[in-house]
Amino acid sequence: MPRHFTDPQAIADAIIALVGRKIVLGLPLGLGKANHVANALFSRAVRDPSLHLHIFTALTLEAPKAKSELERRFLEPVAQRLFAGYPPLDYALAQHRGALPPNIRVDEFFFLAGRWLGNEPAQRSYISANYTHAAGYLLARGVNVVAQLVARRGDRLSLSCNPDLTLDLLDARAAGRANFVLAGQVNSELPFMPGDGDLPAETFGLLLDSPSTDFPLFGAPKQPISTGEYTIGLNVARLIVDGGTLQIGIGEEGDAAVCAMILRHREPKLFSETIDRLTGGAPPLAIEQRTPFVKGLYGVSEMLVDGFLELIDAGILARAVDGILIHGGFFLGSRDFYRRLRDMPPEKLARIAMTRISFTNSLLRDEPAKRAARIDARFVNNAMMATLLGDVISDGLEDGRVVSGVGGQFNFVDQAFALDGARSIIAINAARGAGARAQSNVRWSYGHTTIPRHLRDIVVSEYGIADLRGKSDEHVVAQMLAIADSRFQAALLDRAKAAGKIARDYEIPPAHRQNHPERVAAALEPLRARGLLPDYPFGTEFTPVEQRLLRALERLEDATPLALARFAAAGLSAAPDEAEPLARMDLDHARTLTDRLYRALLRGALRA
């Protein structure tokens, strides 16, 4: 049985006694980190330069940071409500300060999106890795400690949110290819997930279990789904094959796709009418479906997003494989999502299997069974940009800086080409920013690539579907132009013609020259008016006042200097319905000139 501890410093002492003064610490991705164990080892290494600590991890969770004074006023009460009690990871705090001592190194293979763009040491220590390769890299570094958050039930411990790499590491240890201490930290809020990650206590060498080290789980608040994201979701829902297999990535586009699939299932006529408005009544594509899900779907996804629970409740995720509706490698979500898993009846929870990432993201190990299960698979992931020739940019910028990471995206694209009937669907917003700051996310070329063009498949934007697999460069260019924002189509077409990649006399068909946000907004308005596409279809932790403020802050963030001046001018006078939002931002009694300016800007943005 594991040695039990109630003091983090005591478990740190035990780890050092077992493995020596050179510690290679593996911390699971995201939610599964044993924060108190990691912090205790970090503090020991800070105090003792002869102790060498090498941390290998991914997706270090941190409360959001404000980028402006107005954001600070909005975020501080939200953070106090949603993140109070969550222990920050001391290594991350030191990294932000540029204060990591020379005897401590932190390598990550996936970043919290955008968090480390301006941090040069973090950028230098980033490891570009497919999710399926991360365990091998950790083994090659000689991992000797894995510290994981666990759920407890009697004498059983569940890896719960993160069996993803730990199960493969345990296999390597059992085979004699690794020798590490598995240290667990019990958390009372973590759902006990049955299946592969349900382990006997003796699997662990050390266990931290005390009310003093229990803490609220990191809950990622749901963000509002925009009209553009809903349109992307509707286009994705057209591509999901009844009786097939589904993977969904994290983000608002994934939530929008789930909402659209439920609409297709429950209101097929309304769904089809909406698609007709979006496409101008064009004939359905050969690869699309608009009818309800009769056979149902089976899910296999590196991340168990809470949208899968909505699909189960809607009767869409209903095609079981060996009694399982969804195999997932890790999960991270809202506190409501964790509660739903904790409270789920055992017979329903047993149909959700958390397992190793090498199962979800790869066809290796029992390939025939995986091929038989993963029929008509649709692997849906998000990207930042795509080129006219079909390259996909998801994780980094052309100057080499990393925004997030490759994660499992390449794995699923690879599966889409390896499986019969499978397709990769990459979702992008056709443009970002507003007014003079607007930029196209469809580029002629870009100095960084996540998915190369020889693996181009399906790209979806709010303006349609580009089916690129096996097509010539000229066909691909024409398809990508058709889903680009019309504000940028002419310049993109000129670049393609100059490179000789499309005929000199080619013209974009008239049906695709109306790719403007206003057109898709009008096409979705009937659904919006009926409340079928709400900003928060699956709930939110934000209050109604905060929901309104979020939209206003988004408008201010995207605004040009001229637009800001207009907001300020429009907000010089008061309106009765703005009292609550202003009070929430502590601007109801603005005294300084700066506060008065903020108040005017916010009023103007609230009215826009």
Instruction: Let me know: does 299 contact 246? Beta carbons within 8 Å.
Output: yes
In this predicted structure, which of 91-100, 489-498, 571-580 has the lowest mean pLDDT? 571-580
Reported as a single tens digit per residue, the pLDDT across 508-538 is 999 999 999 999 999 999 999 999 999 999 9
Task: Give the residue from 51, 54, 47, 48 showing the smallest Cα distance to 16.
Answer: 51
Per-residue confidence (pLDDT) for residue 114, from 0 to 100: 94
The torsion angles phi and psi of 131, rounded to 5 degrees, stand at -55, -40
pLDDT digits (tens, 9 = 90+) for 145-187: 999 999 999 999 999 999 999 999 999 999 999 999 999 999 9
Q: How many CB atoms lie within 10 A of CB 317?
A: 25
Burial 462-489 (b: 16+ CB within 10 A, else e): bbbbbbbeeeebeebbbbbbbbbbbebb
Cβ atoms < 10 Å from Cβ of 292: 14
What are the boundaries of each domain within the chain? Answer: 3-213, 243-249+294-516, 544-607
Going by pLDDT thresholds of 50, 70 and 90, the confidence category of residue 282 is very high
243-249+294-516: which CATH topology? Glutaconate Coenzyme A-transferase (3.40.1080)
**Helix H or strand E segment including 442:** strand 442-443
Show the 3-state SS of 178-205: CCCEEEEEECCCCCCCCCCCEEEHHHCC
Determine the pLDDT at residue 324: 98
Where do we find the tokens 């994780």? 395
**474 pLDDT above the threshold of 90:** yes
Within 8 A by CB and 6+ apart from 567, the residues are 555, 556, 559, 600, 601, 603, 604, 605, 608
Write down the pLDDT at residue 266: 98
HSE-up of residue 402 (Cα within 13 Å, Cβ side): 24
> At a CB cut-off of 8 Å and minimum separation 6, what does 526 contact?
274, 277
pLDDT, mean over the chain: 96
Confidence of residue 590 (pLDDT cuts 50, 70, 90): confident
Q: Which two tokens stand for residue 324?
A: 């399982």
The amino acid that residue 366 corresponds to is D
Over 80: is that where the pLDDT of 434 sits? no
Taking only the tens place, the pLDDT of each residue in 183-198 is 999 999 999 999 999 9
pLDDT for 220 equals 85
Partners of 298 in the β-ladder: 245
Query: What does the block give as tokens for 261?
Result: 């699939």
Q: Could you say which DSSP state residue 317 is in?
A: S
Alpha helices in 420-472 (DSSP H): none
The fold adopted by the segment(s) 3-213 is Glutaconate Coenzyme A-transferase (3.40.1080)
The predicted-structure confidence for 560-578, as pLDDT tens digits, reads as follows: 888 899 999 999 988 888 9
What separation in angstroms does the CA of 176 have from each of 171, 180, 204? 9, 10, 16
What tokens appear for 361 in the block? 């993201």
DSSP state, residue 398 = T
Query: In the 8-state DSSP scheme, what is residue 324?
Result: B
Q: Pull the structure tokens for residue 302.
A: 């590196």
Q: In the structure, what pLDDT confidence band is assigned to residue 2 with cuts at 50, 70 and 90?
A: very high
Tokens of 315: 């009767």
Helix (H, G, I), strand (E, B) or coil at 498: helix
Tokens of 586: 């502590």
CA distance 208 to 187: 9
Give the β-pairing of 464-467 and 458-461: antiparallel
Helix (H, G, I), strand (E, B) or coil at 269: helix
